[in-house]
Amino acid sequence: MCAICGCGGHEHKHGSDHHDHDHDHDHHGHDHHDHDDHDHRHAHAPGLSQTRMVQVERDIFAENQRHADANRRSFAARGLFVVNLVSSPGSGKTTLLVRTVEALKAELPVAVIEGDQQTGLDAERIKATGVPAYQINTGKGCHLDAHGVGHALAHLPPIEDGVLFIENVGNLVCPAGFDLGEAHKVVVLSTTEGEDKPLKYPDMFFAADLMLLNKSDLLPYVDFSVEKAADYAGRVHPGIGVLTLSARSGEGMAAWLDWLRAGVERAKAGKAAARPKPRVALSAGT
């Protein structure tokens, strides 16, 4: 069993025919239901053939949310500002992250969790900057989940009062529904993509609080309207922040770095406010 969250790895998956419960079949006061569309393929054991309805109010996202909440508490206690970077493949997310880390590492503790289906290439690019990074390979999985991020944290040094970047799997669909415990999702849209992506993938642009329009150095050569992209994103998410930048040329990076610094200041202030007040001994005569 895992020591971090008590999970049992793959032990959840087991056959169902081993339950030897003592069923009480006397009370059939349940509301019966349409038997027409009922699937009768099962060979029911004698005495188990009566079906009943049970009421459940259970959100399937609740399990991920439980881990996300735990991550968020852990981040808050450490004064960590956590950014979940999402985009389609090829938006320049990793290059942006490398440049961002290089700019901040001298003034702030920085760590990175990388998510990709395969390879540790992105984590290697981050580690080359001298900052700790851990790669999660999701295999066939299309998104990071809060449980996996919780485990990844154990592989990173316990930094405080800084910024943790989580670079999600390049995918504008699936990561939208999964809270990892981050302060903000930040969506990267590059000028070589369509400016209508906020309308095509609205869930992601709704989930993100900031949109970075990357590769601004290519604007003279591509048919990409920054105004339209910002307008479309605003339709999906009124009030979403928009910053235009180029990780390659450095143009616009200052505003992004300031946004991150401000986030770290908020995280540090939150940690200080949550910390128990030191008990001050009253000294006589003062």
Partner 1 sequence: MHEMALCEGLVQALEEQARAQVFSRVHKVFLEIGALATIEPAAMRFNFPIVAKGTLAEGAALAIDFVDGSAWCMQCSGNVAVKRHGEGCPACGSYQLHILDGAQMRIKQLEVS
**Kind and range of the H or E element at 15?**
none
As measured in angstroms, the least distance from the Cβ of 172 to partner 1 is 11
Closer to partner 1 by Cβ: residue 204 or 247: 204
As measured in angstroms, the least distance from the Cβ of 29 to partner 1 is 15
Closer to partner 1 by Cβ: residue 235 or 275: 235
Q: Which two tokens stand for residue 100?
A: 């961002």
As measured in angstroms, the least distance from the Cβ of 255 to partner 1 is 25
How long a stretch of residues is the chain? Answer: 286
As measured in angstroms, the least distance from the Cβ of 207 to partner 1 is 8
Q: Report the distance separating Cα 117 and Cα 203, nearest Å.
A: 21
Closer to partner 1 by Cβ: residue 239 or 278: 239
**Which single residue is written with the structure tokens 């908020």?**
266
Q: Report the distance separating Cα 91 and Cα 114, nearest Å.
A: 15
Closer to partner 1 by Cβ: residue 120 or 234: 234
Closer to partner 1 by Cβ: residue 24 or 280: 24
How do beta strands 110-116 and 210-214 pair? unpaired
Q: What are phi and psi of 265, to 5 degrees?
A: -60, -40
Binding site for partner 1 (CB under 8 A): 12-17, 19, 21, 23, 33, 37-39, 41-42, 44, 48-61, 63-64, 140-143, 145, 171, 173-174, 176-178, 198-199, 202-203, 205-206, 232, 234-238
Q: Which two tokens stand for residue 283?
A: 């000294």
Q: Which two tokens stand for residue 71?
A: 């991550």
Q: One-letter amino acid identity for 175?
A: P
**Under the phi-then-psi rule, with left for phi > 0, alpha for psi from -120 to 50, and beta for the rest, what region is 181?**
left
Query: Residue 36 in contact with residue 58, Cβ under 8 Å?
Result: no
Q: Report the distance separating Cα 205 and Cα 176, nearest Å.
A: 8
As measured in angstroms, the least distance from the Cβ of 200 to partner 1 is 9
Q: Give the number of other CB atoms < 10 A from CB of residue 272.
A: 10
Q: Report the distance separating Cα 208 and Cα 230, nearest Å.
A: 13
Closer to partner 1 by Cβ: residue 3 or 60: 60
Closer to partner 1 by Cβ: residue 58 or 279: 58
